[in-house]
C-alpha cells in the first residue's frame, strides 16, 4: 500500500487559513480511499448484490459499503465537516468551511461486470473551492493525490499532463450519462466528431480515472456532459495540479456543479472546444 511520503507532505506553500494542515487532510483521505478500495476488491472476489436505479444505472451493496467506510473514517477525524456523497446525498449540518465530496465506487458498471477499471474518489472543498483530491484504483494499486498549489502525484511520484499539441495525435476519452436513452444531449454527436479528428478515442467507464489519466499524460483530453460533482471533485484537482486545463464547453473555468466538462493538457484545449461548439450536423 502507498504511504504518503514525507517529501510529498512537506512543502513551503501555505495551507488554507483554517487550522487543519494539508497533511492531516491528505492522510485521512488516503486512508479512507485505500480502506474503501480494499473493501471493493473483497466484494469483487466474494460477490455482491445489484439493484437497478434504472435499466442501465446500477448500484451494488459494495457501493454502499465503500461509502460507509469512507464516511465513517472521515467523520471520526472531522466530525464538524460537511459531506456530499453519491449514495447518501448531502450532510451540511453546522458551519464548517470544509465539504468532502465522495464517489465510493466510480465505475459501477465496470465493477458489476468484473471489468477492473473503477476507483474510490474523495475530494475536498474549502469555502466552495476544490482544494484536494484522492483517487484510488485498487485493481492496479494506483493512488492519485493532489492538494492545491502542491502538484499531483501517482503513488508519491509527481505526474504531469502530456505535451501533445494536435488533436490529430491525441488520445481522447469520454463517457455517457445514464439518461443516454432519454435525452438528445447524449454526447453521441460529439463522439462521432472526435472519432474522426483524434488519433484514438476511449470510453473507460470511470470519469474520476479519466481525469487522473489526463493528469498522468495517459490521455490528452477528456470531455463529458451531465457528470455529477462526485465524479469530478477529486479528479479535477488532480488534473489541474498536473498542469491540465479544465473548463466548460464555452471555455469558462470548470464548476463541478455544472453540466459540462473539458479537461486537457492545455495545448489541445482550444481545438477541443472548437469541435464541441460545431453545429450538430457538421461531422
Ligand atoms: C459514472 C462513470 C462514467 C460516466 C458516468 C458516471 P458511476 O459514474 O464515471 O464514466 O460516464 O456519467 O455516472 O455511476 O460509475 O459512479
Ligand atoms: Ca461516478
Ligand atoms: Ca458511483
What is the reported pLDDT for 148?
A: 97
How far, in Å, is the centroid of ligand 1 from the Cα of 246? Answer: 18
pLDDT digits 0-9 by tens, 144-202: 999 999 999 999 999 999 999 999 999 999 999 898 888 888 999 999 999 999 999 99
CATH 3.30.540.10 assigned to domain 22-158? The reply is yes
Q: State residue 184's pLDDT score.
A: 85
From CA 280, how far away is CA 4, in angstroms rounded? 46
- Whether 107 lines ligand 1, by a CB cut-off of 6 Å, is yes
According to CATH, the topology of domain 167-276 is D-Maltodextrin-Binding Protein; domain 2 (3.40.190)
Quick one: pLDDT at residue 18? 52
Q: How far is CA 65 from CA 34, 58, 61, 215, in A?
A: 13, 15, 6, 28
The rounded Å distance from CA 35 to ligand 2 centre is 18
pLDDT of residue 281: 57
- Sequence ranges of the domains in the chain: 22-158, 167-276
Nearest-ligand number for the alpha carbon of 58: 1
Q: From CA 59, how far away is CA 105, in angstroms rounded?
A: 9
Residue minimizing CA distance to atom 15 of ligand 1: 107
Alpha carbon 159 to its chain's center: 15
Q: What is the per-residue pLDDT for 123?
A: 98
- Residue at grid coordinates 483554517: 18
Of the residues 53, 60, 103, 207, which should be mutated to test ligand 1's pocket, given the most ligand atoms within 8 Å of the CB?
207
| Grid cell locating 30 | 488516503
Q: Is the CB of 108 under 6 A from ligand 1?
A: yes
Asked if residues 242 and 236 have their Cβ atoms less than 8 Å apart, the reply is no
What's the pTM value of the predicted model, to 2 decimals? 0.93
Q: Which residue has the cell 455517457?
A: 176
**Mutual angle of helices 188-197 and 269-276, in 10-degree steps:** 130
CA of 109 from ligand 1 middle (Å) equals: 8
- Establish whether residue 60 lines the binding site of ligand 1, counting it when its CB lies within 6 angstroms of any ligand atom: no
Distance CA 22, CA 236 (A): 18
25: number of Cβ within 10 Å: 25
Give the ligand at the shortest distance from the Cα of 87: 3
Q: Of the residues 118, 204, 227, which should be mutated to test ligand 1's pocket, given the most ligand atoms within 8 Å of the CB?
A: 227
Would the CB of 63 count as within 6 Å of ligand 1? no
**Can you tell me which residue has the cell 485505500?**
34
Cα–Cα dist 212/235, whole Å: 6
Which segments of the chain have a pLDDT < 50?
A: 1-17, 282-283
SS3 state at 51? strand
Amino acid at each position: 500500500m502507498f504511504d504518503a511520503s514525507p517529501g510529498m507532505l512537506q512543502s513551503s506553500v501555505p495551507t488554507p487559513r483554517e487550522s487543519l494542515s494539508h497533511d492531516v487532510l491528505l492522510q485521512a483521505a488516503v486512508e479512507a480511499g485505500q480502506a474503501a478500495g480494499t473493501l471493493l476488491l473483497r466484494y469483487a472476489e466474494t460477490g455482491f448484490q445489484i439493484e437497478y436505479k434504472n435499466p442501465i444505472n446500477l448500484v451494488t451493496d459494495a457501493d454502499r459499503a465503500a461509502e460507509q467506510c469512507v464516511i465513517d473514517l472521515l467523520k471520526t477525524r472531522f466530525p464538524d465537516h460537511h459531506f456530499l456523497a453519491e449514495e447518501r446525498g448531502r450532510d451540511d449540518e453546522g458551519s464548517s468551511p470544509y465539504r468532502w465530496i465522495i464517489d465510493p465506487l466510480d465505475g459501477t458498471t465496470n465493477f458489476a461486470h468484473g471489468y477492473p477499471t473503477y476507483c474510490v474518489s474523495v475530494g475536498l472543498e474549502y469555502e466552495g473551492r476544490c482544494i484536494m483530491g484522492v483517487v484510488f484504483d485498487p485493481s492496479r494499486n494506483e493512488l492519485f493525490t493532489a492538494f492545491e498549489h502542491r502538484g499531483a502525484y501517482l503513488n508519491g511520484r509527481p505526474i504531469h499532463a502530456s505535451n501533445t499539441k494536435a488533436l490529430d495525435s491525441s488520445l481522447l476519452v469520454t463517457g455517457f450519462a445514464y439518461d443516454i436513452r432519454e435525452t438528445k444531449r447524449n454526447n453521441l454527436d460529439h463522439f462521432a466528431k472526435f472519432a474522426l479528428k483524434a488519433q484514438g478515442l476511449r470510453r473507460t467507464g470511470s470519469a474520476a480515472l479519466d481525469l487522473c489519466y489526463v493528469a498522468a499524460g495517459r490521455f490528452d483530453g477528456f470531455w463529458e456532459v451531465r457528470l455529477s460533482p462526485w465524479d469530478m471533485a477529486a479528479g479535477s484537482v488532480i488534473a489541474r495540479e498536473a498542469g491540465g486545463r479544465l473548463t466548460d464547453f464555452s471555455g469558462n473555468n470548470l464548476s463541478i456543479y455544472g453540466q459540462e466538462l473539458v479537461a486537457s493538457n492545455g495545448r489541445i484545449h482550444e481545438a477541443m472546444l472548437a469541435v464541441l461548439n460545431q453545429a450538430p450536423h457538421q461531422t
